[in-house]
Chains A and B, each alone.
Chain A
Amino acid sequence: MRSRLFFYIIVLVLIVAGCAIAWQRHLQTQLPLLPGVQAPIWLVEARVDFTARGEPVTVNLDIPDDPPGFYLLDEQTASPGYGFFILTENGNRRGEWSIRQADGPQTLYYKIQLVPIPLAATSRGELPVAPAATSVHWEEAEVVAARQLLAVARERSSNPESMTRELIKLLAASEPEQNAALLLSATPLVPLLEKLLNYSQLPTRIVNGLYLEDGRRNQQLTPKLEVFVGDRWLLFDPRTAHQGVPENFLLWNQDRRSLLDLSGGHNSQIRFAMLSQNLPAAQLASLTAADSPFALFGVHSLPVEEQAMLKMLLLLPAGALVLVFMRIMVGVQTSGTFMPILIALAFLQTTLLPGLISFVSIVAFGLLLRGYLSGLNLLLVARIATIVIIVIFIIVFSSLFGYRLGFNTGMTVNFFPIIIIAWTIERMSILWEDEGPGEVLVQGGGSLLVAVLAYLLMQWSVMAHLSFYFPEINLIIVALIMLMGNYTGYKLTELHRFRAVDQQGAP
């Protein structure tokens, strides 16, 4: 009894481990549990136009570093003849194009792919060093107005954030008060806010970002204010005083540096276009979670060719589960223990109906020829080898025939394991001689039934998805198979088989 307990513990451990690993993988790598889940990504294109003067040209563009709310999936440039390099300086990345000589209108593209992620998940790396507020120079008349304005804002607030909000409200009001109007007449709103906040010893900078809207072209960056409070930068909208990063807002230029530096040209202009696209979430997860420990042991991190083979292998347990169920619980007879799974694998390549038709017709045709062979009195191995070759001929012929008739289904038959077919033919033919056509139908039909069921399970997109992206699911399958291996109850077919017992025994 102790060994039984041990057995159930193993089964339980397998099931729990399978579920837990799959769930952890789902959480860590964002792999969806169901297939077909789509995740949106943004394609943003910055287009730089300028006129070159026939001299060496250097174009230096600030590019997003680690924008909050987005994962940077991919970036590329399209700029014929230009060299491109990404310079990194204090964590700030700038793309630099250079060419020895260029003349006339030039166009450079910088494209970036972004995945929206929850804001909280955005890692901002190490904490920035607390910056100092920049010194500010005012005109004589402005000093008083600025001081009074700041006094009002300070009066109505309790901390730097609320002070910033109050100041924005004062300045962005539709009818600003006297002091605000005076200051605004000399400086535009956003630089003025930056100036005022720095003046009140709050380190402040102007950042530029992009509102992402599907299919928009010729967009410009929108300026925002960032105020350093505590240990991080807080973003404020300079018109609404809204605090925090708005949805679908991509921070492009963060580090008080110019957006675009150009030498060797003039009339520079930068415009943005953007597009929302959908990517299968599974594919996306495999791209974004490349450094997670789960990705290391994920099949999808392998080269595509190996993936295709492993995809098949990882599906086999599902087929085995069906086979075990059908044989132990239902009691279906199959010819050859695991032949149905191999047929089901072949069906995966051929799809069901063409596969079924070609399999049955090949076996039937082979049986016909085998009948003739039995008259030749050959030794068994030689006879099976002969059948193998005949099967190859049938397959080649049907492929050619199908091709001439204009459909490709003829080609699909060569996915069937030829040796398996040959053995099936041989066994069926012996079965026919020994036990009659009835038994051939029972066993052949049983094999095909199991094969079709296994195929249906294996090609079910959920099963294919789970077994490929969550190979640990197979632990659960093993546990189920082990449980069934322990089943001592009646098979479904035995309920029919023993029906005679009931007749006389009935009270």
Chain B
Amino acid sequence: MKWWVGPARLRRLGILGMNCRNLDFIGRYNPRRLYPLVDDKLKTKILAEREGIPVPKLHFALREQFRVKRIGEMLRPLAGFAVKPAKGSGGRGILVIQGQENGAYVKTSGRRLDLGDIKRHISNILAGLYSLAGTPDVAIVEELIELDPQFAGFSHEGIPDIRVVVFRGYPVMAMLRLATHESDGKANLHQGAVGVGLDIATGRCLMAVQHSLPLKVHPDTGADFSRIRVPDWPEILTLAARCHEMTNLGYLGADIVLDRRRGPLILELNARPGLAIQVASDHGLLARLRRLESLGNTHATVAQRVEFAMASFGRDLGGRKGFSEY
């Protein structure tokens, strides 16, 4: 494999670059005043619950340092839970505890933490270590997502999530992010998770990449990616598209998990979704985004938009077309 691609070729493939994303899409379609809605997971969660969009249940949120002392009591009734910084980014500062065994907290990787580790982690969150600007933060403790059995074997020590890029309310591109041992149970591609591009029309696997390189089977479990077909696909796309109405962000990334009992849930939203999804989908975003830009306000409802996206951006429907061919 070559070590680089020429810029002309990238442009022909319609690959969206970081600078172009920041200027032409984030800068133009995402007003800054809306950022706090998605940069603060607690705010997103409250907003989503008000709109009737399903999210993982919040156990409690911690704002003050002195309450960290009593965290042991608060955690006692919970079997598994996830601790997150409300303003964290890129999956940093997320601690997932599978269960408790005689006072020890077991991570998904099987590592055992004691109460002191949990306390330190939470107090780091409160001090703003993981927050974007280093400002004081809130620690969120929410329910543990239970792995949908359909994904058993595809994700190692972590829950897979589905990233859907939504532009002007249309789901544009989607990928499934699978945790690996290397990514330590996290679903962030730059940490070593596997990205599986999904066909917008069907929810089937297009291809899979890890560290920007294609692969066929999961590096830890050996599961064959080509078998993947995400269930409840239209429902997932609808959920993602509704986030546009909820936040008014023109260009956003919705992270969706499939819970065994509750079905698709919005995990978090992102006003600056990354570009790796293009590599995982083996397709550039730019062509689809430009097409939607030229569309005007044709589709009023979420259902219409999802239908349009599924009809237009599917793999078998000319989805491989380069930008210049539109």
Contacts and interface: CB of A to CB of B under 8 A. Distances in A.
A331 B4 contact: no
Nearest to A496: B4
A499 interface: yes
Contact of A377 (B10, B20, B116, B279): B116
A490 B15 contact: yes
Interface in B195-247: 207, 209, 212-214
Interface stretch (A205-213, A304-312, A481-489): A481-489
Contact of B279 (A381, A435, A500): A500
Given A379-B65, A489-B19, A499 B13 contact: no
A377 B116 CA distance: 8
B212 A497 contact: yes
Interface string A360-400: 00000000000000100101110000000000000000000
A303 interface: no
B92 to A, nearest CB: 5
A495 interface: yes
A458 interface: no
A500 B212 contact: yes
Interface in B85-127: 92-93, 116, 119-120, 123-124, 127
Size range of the interface on B? 35 or more
Contacts, number: 98
Contacts of B15: 490, 494, 498, 501
B190 to A, nearest CB: 8
Contacts of A26: none
Interface in B260-284: 275, 278-279, 282-284
Given A486-B23, A494-B18, A500 B10 contact: no
A497 B279 contact: yes
B24 interface: yes
B191 interface: yes
B214 to A, nearest CB: 6
Contacts of B92: 434
B1 A503 contact: yes
A140 interface: no
Contacts of A494: 10, 15, 17-18, 275
B13 A502 contact: yes
B6 A495 contact: yes
A495 B5 contact: yes
A505 interface: yes
Given A379-B65, A380-B127, A495 B278 contact: no
Contacts of B278: 498, 501
Contacts of A486: 23
A32 B284 CA distance: 52
Interface string B1-43: 1111111011101010111100110000000000000000000
A154 interface: no
B3 A381 contact: no
B128 interface: yes
A440 to B, nearest CB: 14
A491 interface: yes
A374 B124 CA distance: 11
B129 interface: yes
Nearest to A380: B127
Contacts of B93: 434
Contact of A499 (B4, B116, B320): B4
A428 to B, nearest CB: 13
Contact of A502 (B9, B119, B275): B9
A488 to B, nearest CB: 4
A86 B128 CA distance: 72
A178 interface: no
Nearest to A329: B19
A491 B209 CA distance: 21
A379 B123 contact: yes
Nearest to A497: B212
Contacts of B275: 494, 497
A282 interface: no
Given A434-B92, A490-B17, A499 B212 contact: yes
A425 interface: no
Nearest to B182: A436
A325 to B, nearest CB: 12
B7 A489 contact: yes
A498 B10 contact: yes
A323 to B, nearest CB: 15
A496 B13 CA distance: 15
A90 interface: no
B4 A491 contact: no
A115 B64 CA distance: 73
Contacts of A15: none
Contacts of A466: none
Contacts of A267: none
Nearest to B214: A500
A381 B13 CA distance: 47
A323 B130 CA distance: 24
A497 B212 CA distance: 7
A122 B128 CA distance: 68
B127 A381 contact: yes
Contact of B19 (A380, A381, A491): A491
A328 interface: yes
Contacts of B283: 501
A501 B128 contact: no
B282 A501 contact: yes
B23 A488 contact: yes
Contacts of B320: 505
A385 to B, nearest CB: 12
Contacts of A505: 13, 282, 320, 322
A419 interface: no
Nearest to A382: B127
A413 to B, nearest CB: 25
A494 B5 CA distance: 9
Contacts of A435: 190-191
A380 B283 CA distance: 42
Given A380-B129, A498-B279, A504-B282, A488 B124 contact: no
A473 to B, nearest CB: 26
Given A379-B65, A490-B10, A499 B5 contact: yes
Contact of A328 (B3, B19, B282): B19
Contacts of A285: none
Given A495-B5, A496-B4, A501 B279 contact: yes
Contacts of B127: 379-381
A430 interface: yes
A212 B191 CA distance: 76
B124 A495 contact: no
18 contacts: A488-B19, A491-B17, A494-B18, A494-B275, A495-B4, A495-B10, A496-B4, A497-B212, A497-B279, A498-B278, A498-B279, A499-B1, A500-B214, A501-B13, A502-B10, A503-B1, A504-B207, A505-B322
Given A489-B17, A499-B1, A499-B5, 17 more contacts: A380-B128, A434-B92, A488-B24, A489-B19, A489-B20, A495-B6, A497-B275, A498-B5, A500-B212, A500-B213, A500-B279, A501-B10, A501-B15, A501-B278, A501-B283, A505-B13, A505-B320
Interface of B: 1-7, 9-11, 13, 15, 17-20, 23-24, 65, 92-93, 116, 119-120, 123-124, 127-129, 190-191, 207, 209, 212-214, 275, 278-279, 282-284, 320, 322
Q: Top 9 nearest A-B pairs by Cβ distance?
A: A380-B127, A488-B20, A490-B17, A502-B5, A495-B4, A377-B120, A496-B4, A490-B7, A500-B279
